Amino acid sequence: MLLTGVADVRFSARNQLVGKVVSLKAGTVNSEVGIQLSGGTVVYAVITNEAVAELGIKQGVAATALIKASHIVLGVPI
């Protein structure tokens, strides 16, 4: 999930990655949004084109990626 424009909101999602939108690739139905975090890492979210318009997402906009711990998949080498 992505959040823009609101600073004083509490969420049950403990993983809140704050950054700035650095890329936006629109598809037919969904868009891929790249958010650069303060350390330089870029995380990506796929959201609907409608959500991009509603949230006013464009390059340079501050955004937060919200990730519930139960939605994280870990992998280890075998």
Print pLDDT tens along the chain (78 aa): 888 876 677 888 888 999 999 999 999 999 999 999 999 999 999 999 999 999 999 999 999 999 988 888 899 999
Q: What is the pTM of this model?
A: 0.84
Q: What is the pLDDT of residue 66?
A: 92
CB 49 within 8 A of CB 30: yes
Q: What is the pLDDT of residue 28?
A: 97
Q: What is the pLDDT of residue 7?
A: 67
Question: How far is it, in rounded angstroms, from Cα 57 to Cα 29?
Answer: 15
Q: What is the pLDDT of residue 9?
A: 78
| Identity at 53, one-letter amino acid code | A
